[in-house]
Amino acid sequence: MDSVFPVDLLLLALVVVIGVATIRARDLLASTLLLGVYSLLMALVWTNMFAMDVAFTEAAVGAGISTVLLLGTLIVVGREERPSRGPHGAALLVTILTGAALLYGTTDMPAFGDPNAPVHTDAVGRKYIAQEVGKVHPVAHHHDDTHHDEAHHDGADHSADDHEPDTSAPAEHHGGSSEIHGDPAQDAHHGDYGTHVPNLVTAVLAAYRGYDTMFETAVIFTAGVCLIVLLRDRRSPPKETEAAA
Amino acid sequence: MNPVLIASVLVLIGLALVLIRTLRGPGVFDRILGVNMIGTKAVILLCLLGFLEDRGGFLDIALLYALINFVGTIAILKFVEFRRLGA
């Protein structure tokens, strides 16, 4: 952890420089390019925090798709920003106040990687880590516990591919318990990842993928509806941005 | 001092130098080249970080970065050349 610190410090300093430069640049193409670099470096920072999924998403969406979408916007709005009349006083004040409030909020957060953080000690959090929220116990045997977790985890993984994960997950759990039990491939890795997922977020995502996917779909649907409402009926719809997306 | 850490810091310093060119660069192509090079350096840095923390999984993300960097550069160049992104 310590050896990563100087790298993180330099990375974040570069990110700040890029952020300021992005705001100040008059050339919108330069701003777009700098935003791509910003996302790339932020993804590196996420990687340093072992937040692999966040880093993946940041790199793919922030540096990849966003850049292309912003370029599609530049086709419509042109490359040069109009000269502004200096900073807007009220907006600056609101921004500074919001930033101060957020920074004040972070003082209540537990330290990064703190094992005594509320997420780890809270009753619900422990249940999430053990992956037994809403879990039906078909067999009451004591020594079967580890295999339960595996069976549940495995069933949830399958359910991510299903079309109706919410209904199929419990059924698979009931049926899969016995067949996983004798599977040598599953028994082979009984390390950190064999019996349960050590990371809380990953545990929730892996074990409750069905809900996760359901709400993600709702969010994406809402975003799509908003985009359609915003973009309809303006001259002729720009074909370029559609192709780029 | 960890040699991998020294290498990482050196790559970061190089990244800062390229960033200066990207920020100042009078022409569009200076900026595009700068951004492309920053992406390459990010890939290298990611690999180095993987060795720094003994995490082999970093290499997968490095591959993803390399691909995204390529696609992004193509898109930007196409925009500069043709003023549109479609066929």
Same domain for A102 and A15 = yes
Is the model more confident about B62 or about A157?
B62
Same domain for A79 and A19 = yes
Taking CB atoms within 8 Å and a gap of at least 24, the contacts of A42-47 are A42/A15, A43/B42, A43/B61, A43/B65, A44/A11, A44/B42, A44/B45, A44/B46, A44/B49, A45/A8, A45/A11, A45/A12, A45/A15, A47/B46, A47/B49, A47/B58, A47/B61
Domain of residue A100, residue span: 5-109
Residue A144 has pLDDT above 50, yes or no: no
Q: Is ipTM beyond 0.90? A: no
Residue A231 has pLDDT above 90, yes or no: no
- The radius of gyration computed from the CA coordinates of chain B, to the nearest angstrom, equals 15
Task: Give the residue among A215, A229, A224, A222 at the shortest CA–CA distance from A245.
Answer: A224
Residue B23 has pLDDT above 90, yes or no: no
The residue extents of the domains of chain B are: 3-82
Query: Is residue A233 domain-resident?
Result: no
For residues A110-128, give the mean pLDDT: 72
Query: Is residue A152 domain-resident?
Result: yes
What residues are paired with A80 via a beta bridge?
A27
Residues in B closer than 8 angstroms to A63, CB to CB, are: 39, 65, 68-69, 72
Q: Does residue B35 belong to the interface with chain A, where contact is any CB pair within 8 Å?
A: yes
Same domain for A105 and A122 = no
Same domain for A204 and A142 = yes
How much is the pLDDT for A180?
43
Number of domains in chain A: 2
Same domain for A186 and A122 = yes
Query: Is residue A230 domain-resident?
Result: no
d(C-alpha A71, C-alpha A126), whole Å? 45
Same domain for A53 and A88 = yes
Same domain for A122 and A100 = no
Task: Give the residue among A161, A152, A151, A150 at the shortest CA–CA distance from A193.
Answer: A150
Whether A44 and B45 lie within 8 Å, measured CB to CB:
yes
Q: Does residue B75 belong to the interface with chain A, where contact is any CB pair within 8 Å?
A: yes
Residues in B closer than 8 angstroms to A37, CB to CB, are: 19, 22, 35, 38-39
B window 9-28, beta carbon within 8 A of A = 9, 12-13, 15-16, 19, 22-23, 28
Residues in A closer than 8 angstroms to B58, CB to CB, are: 47
Residues in A closer than 8 angstroms to B5, CB to CB, are: 3, 6-7
**Partner residue facing A40 (CB), from B16, B65, B71:** B65
How much is the pLDDT for A200?
63
* CATH of residue A83: 1.20.120.1200
Q: Give the model's confidence band at A163: pLDDT under 50 very low, under 70 low, under 90 confident, else very high.
A: very low
How much is the pLDDT for A166?
43
Q: At A8, which helix (H) or strand (E)?
A: helix A5-24
Same domain for A104 and A158 = no
Same domain for A135 and A96 = no
d(C-alpha B66, C-alpha A188), whole Å? 34
How much is the pLDDT for A4?
78
Same domain for A198 and A104 = no
pLDDT digits (tens, 9 = 90+) for B35-87: 889 889 988 988 888 888 777 677 877 888 888 888 888 888 888 888 766 65
For residues A98-113, give the mean pLDDT: 87
What residues are paired with A27 via a beta bridge?
A80
**Partner residue facing A14 (CB), from B8, B19, B76:** B19
Query: Is residue A245 domain-resident?
Result: no
- Of the three residues A109, A144, A177, the one that is the final residue of a domain is A109
> Sign (positive/negative) of CA torsion A158, A163, A164, A165?
positive
Residues in A closer than 8 angstroms to B28, CB to CB, are: 29
Same domain for A102 and A137 = no
**Partner residue facing A64 (CB), from B32, B68, B87:** B68
**Partner residue facing A47 (CB), from B19, B58, B80:** B58
**Partner residue facing A40 (CB), from B8, B42, B57:** B42
